[in-house]
């Protein structure tokens, strides 16, 4: 081994294995498309609490995924090591909204496609996906479900409440019934004939009813 062999390194030899222009182009486009995904997410979000950090993470995820794919495609040996390294990563954050999962996969897919060098596919696919999500998020599909919680005193008040609900709602289902010595609580899932919620006032005005609460049903019901 000569003195010059000491400074020879496979790590340094990999510096020129990829193009700097390709990296900058892929990261720039991943940032732009990640920003596009973030805008679509913010525009179409319909959950209870919007998180800016999740929207920013979509941009970061697109760029990081693109960077990883560039590294993997530049070296076959590195790709095998990358698979082993990423297999130990575990994510503990719970995703509550189903659409959030779709946006996560969208951001990852954009990073993968850009890292692989398929730039037109990433741009055209993202535009089409964004248009579809915007169209379907602004359209009302089916009836809006509601949850009605009624606190009342006795069974006679319960019968009067049931009559009002059946006359005012297109469909009603009793989800839970909690009974104590001097009161009871009824929880209904209902679908209205129209957007009017005037029947809630009638329910609350019924004899034996102490209060009534109507909320939009978001799919997470806990009895």
What's the pLDDT tens digit per position in 199-209? 788 888 888 88
pLDDT given for residue 7 in this prediction = 45
> Mean pLDDT of all residues in the chain?
77
Interatomic CA distance for residues 215 and 142, integer angstroms: 17
Q: Give 137-172 pLDDT, tens digit per residue.
A: 776 656 678 888 888 887 888 888 888 888 888 888
Task: Kindly state the average pLDDT of the residues 102-115.
Answer: 88
Residue 50 vs residue 185, higher pLDDT: 185
In this prediction, residue 104 has a pLDDT band, given cuts at 50, 70 and 90, of: confident
pLDDT at residue 213 tops 80: yes
pLDDT given for residue 13 in this prediction = 53
On whether the pTM is more than 0.75, the answer is no
Q: Give 14-40 pLDDT, tens digit per residue.
A: 555 567 787 888 888 999 999 999 999
Please state which of the ranges 101-110, 137-146, 187-196 shows the lowest mean pLDDT: 137-146
pLDDT at residue 11 tops 50: no
pLDDT at residue 74 tops 90: no
Q: 27 CB contacts (<8 Å, ≥6 apart)?
A: 63, 66, 67
Residue range 145-216, CATH number: 3.30.70.260
pLDDT given for residue 147 in this prediction = 85
Q: Are 30 and 66 in contact (CB under 8 A)?
A: yes
- The distance from CA 37 to its chain's CA centroid, rounded to whole angstroms, is 12
Q: Give 38-66 pLDDT, tens digit per residue.
A: 999 988 877 667 777 888 888 988 988 88
Interatomic CA distance for residues 69 and 86, integer angstroms: 12
Domain residue spans of the chain? 4-138, 145-216
Three-state secondary structure call for residue 3: coil
pLDDT at residue 214 tops 60: yes
pLDDT given for residue 80 in this prediction = 57
Interatomic CA distance for residues 123 and 44, integer angstroms: 20
- CA atoms within a 13 Å half-sphere pointing along the CA-CB vector of 113: 19
Q: Token pair of 112, please?
A: 């993968």
pLDDT given for residue 92 in this prediction = 61
């Amino acid at each position: 081994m000569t003195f010059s062999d000491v400074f020879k390194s496979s790590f340094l030899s990999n510096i020129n294995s990829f193009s700097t222009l390709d990296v900058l182009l892929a990261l720039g486009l991943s940032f732009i498309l990640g920003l596009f995904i973030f805008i679509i997410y913010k525009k179409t979000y319909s959950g209870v609490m919007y998180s800016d950090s999740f929207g920013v993470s979509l941009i970061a995820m697109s760029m990081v995924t693109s960077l990883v794919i560039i590294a993997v495609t530049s070296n076959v040996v590195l790709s095998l090591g990358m698979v082993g390294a990423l297999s130990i990563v575990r994510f503990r954050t719970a995703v509550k909204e189903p659409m959030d999962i779709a946006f996560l996969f969208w951001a990852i897919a954009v990073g993968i496609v850009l890292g692989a060098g398929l730039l037109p596919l990433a741009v055209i696919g993202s535009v089409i996906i964004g248009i579809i999500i915007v169209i379907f998020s602004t359209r009302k599909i089916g009836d809006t479900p509601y949850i009605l919680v009624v606190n009342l005193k006795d069974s006679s008040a319960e019968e009067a409440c049931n009559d009002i609900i059946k006359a005012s709602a297109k469909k009603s289902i009793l989800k839970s019934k909690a009974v104590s010595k001097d009161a009871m609580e009824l929880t209904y899932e209902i679908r209205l004939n129209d957007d009017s919620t005037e029947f809630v006032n009638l329910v609350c005005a019924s004899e034996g009813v102490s209060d009534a609460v109507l909320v939009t049903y978001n799919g997470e019901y806990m009895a």
